[in-house]
Amino acid sequence: MDEAEDRRLRAIAPDISQISISLLRRVVGLYPEERIPEEALRTADEVLERYGADGLRVLVMSLTGWAAVEIEKDAHMSGRTLEALLDDMDLTRMEANPDG
């Protein structure tokens, strides 16, 4: 990342972090679960429109950071390895989409 890119991303990071938390508040516990991707796509479209590709990049960085921390906490609290937890997540993905 060059200095100009770093400045651009840092400038929008607080807004995108707030958007990330807002998205998570809307989707955690959402039923039916099929609505979760719809809400995520709606948020991504709004970020793209308002902040462009840089906004989407920061959104991905923000959500990845939150997910990684929570996965690490879950693994620690459950006494499982990170690899075992991620394998279970991958198995869930395959079960949800057996054809692909």
**Per-residue pLDDT tens digits for 31-86:** 998 899 999 999 999 999 999 999 999 999 999 999 999 999 999 999 999 999 99
- Which phi-psi region, left, alpha or beta, contains residue 85 (left: φ > 0; alpha: ψ -120 to 50)? alpha
Q: Which residue has the tokens 């607080």?
A: 14
Contact 23, 45 (CB under 8 A): no
- Please state, in angstroms and rounded to a whole number, the distance separating the CA atoms of residues 52 and 59: 11
What pLDDT is attached to residue 49? 98
Tell me the whole-structure pTM to 2 decimals.
Answer: 0.86
Q: How many CA atoms lie within 13 A of 48 on its CB side?
A: 6
